[in-house]
Structure 1
Amino acid sequence: MPGNSARRGAIRKTAKKPTAGSGGRVKRGLEGKGPTPKAKDRPNHKVYKQKANAEKAAAARPRRRNTGGEAEWIAGRNPVVEALRAGVPVKTLYVAEGAERDGRLREAFKLASEHHIGLLEVTGRELDRLTSGAVHQGLAAKIPAYEYAHADDLLDRAAEAGEPPLIVALDSVTDPRNLGAVVRSAAGFGAHGVLVPERRAAGMTASAWKTSAGAAARIPVAQAVNLVRQLKCYQEAGCMVVGLAADGNVSLPDLDLGDGPLVLVVGSEDSGLSRLVAETCDQLVSIPMAGQVESLNAGVAASVALYAVSQARVAG
């Protein structure tokens, strides 16, 4: 019978549907697949693999954060009010029982209420004990220990903003007011963070917070166990490390790398950069001075240099 014959050339009927013509398949094959993905989004591309390896290494790297020691106390009516005005992160306000209510105390209460700061009334003797016998005038404020960022967080912050890193590192700067001034300038000129040594250097105390005029809440401050080692890590990450020095071989206006990844190192007013830090820097840059002034303090020097770098970045 037709369809069942075993003879050669007979047609065998099956339940399968007839094979579709090639036209549909060819048409689908000719359809566009959209724009080519970027190299970083293509799993088989070396850029994608480099990015994945970098992210894996960053995840494996410990991110130790220091809390800067114990909580700090601000004692006295004027210092407390000034700290509250400057946005210092006061945790709790302490007032002595029976303290005379004057304008400063009323303003302190008002600012505490506006910023949702806790208020506790204690005995005068207890306030003496808490402030270690300081002249508190019946009012004191408690500031929690500052939480420092990890040094690598500053690079991450620049990457997230899509900008070349700009970091200010301080070498042997021991005056917290200078640190606060540098933090304020760094925030004002677009830096991604400030790096300070863990030892023999100023930390983020109430004085530094106050001098920063609130900028310390907008820009991270990181600590380095070993400043030279961290500067070398920044160099390995592609940053140019430039130190400010009175005897620098390049004048600040002639610095032609201000628009690239940059770490600006500022030393103390008394001794400048330490020997090892100066040897680690890729370049030593001087600020042109007129008259009899031989040096600037760290806060002013950092401001002048950051302004010059910001102008180079705008021009670039």
Structure 2
Amino acid sequence: MTTAIATVSKLAGVVPPVCTPLTPDHQVDVASLLRLVDFQLAGGVDGLFILGSSSEVAFLPDAHRAVVIDTVLQHVAGQVPVLIGVIDMTTLRVLDQARRAVRAGCAGIVATAPFYTRTHPAEIELHLRQIQEQTQVPLYAYDLPVSVHSHLDHDMLLRLAADGVLAGLKDSSGDDAGLRDLIVARNDAGLTGFSVLTGSELTVDNALRMGADGVVPGLGNVDPHGYATLYAHARAGDWDRAAREQERLLRLMRIVRAAPAGRMGRGSSALGAFKTALKLRGVIEHAVTAPPQIPLDDAETEYVRGILATAGLL
């Protein structure tokens, strides 16, 4: 079966990193995944990013990844561009993931720097060049220093953009000054076709005002319409309304504080909160996260419920 593919000359707007719903025995919950995709599309998103951090990509076996890819691409059928994370430790492993994504008909692939081993900047550049050379699809770099322990050098990114290797960047560095410097340098170099998307969902209005092209918000799983509204205000130049919507989303983001730091890691609390919120909103069946993440307990679930109710989402 041929899957329709949505392509785009320059990626922009709201592109949530879609959560991966799981069953109690840790299989992909396909029915819930389909509902979540429809929930995102109805919320007005401009694209979807599957198998990213909020998708629990690092926790998923290859067979699970394949189910997610096939399910989402066949269901979306070209309505919006679908990017696929090909995140793995080294180039050869990433290329295996990338070839699978290309065969499925993705609009682009997303790769981090190699990790586990210590990687020199020259090796990161070679890694990205080889991925693009051997796939020939739009490649987006993912700057995620908190997880891969390498910050992507901005000169390298712009060099790869100028050479046609990179189509864009998801910046999850948390460095707003660095993001602004990159945007200015991109514009000065005339590389305005290089898409810069922020992964910092609590400062989106600032990033858009600095010239970022869009956002990849984990919280967009829970409230895609809120991010679509924020982006629309920014596009219209209504920065006061954009700021108010951003502040509403900031209050909603407090769901990630559901569990105390002494009981579980921040990733368990955040992803557990996203999935719990989606379950409470009737989008997915279970709030199961992949092991060894720790699930939220009843009191923590009630904490999430209270924030959703205050936000008018229940």
State if a TM-score over 0.5 links the two structures. no
**Considering only CA atoms, is the larger Rg found in Structure 1 or Structure 2?**
1
Higher helix share: 2
Higher strand share: 1
- When the two structures are superposed, what TM-score results if normalisation uses the length of structure 2? 0.29
Determine which structure has greater relative contact order: mean sequence separation of CA pairs < 8 Å that are 6+ residues apart, divided by chain length.
2
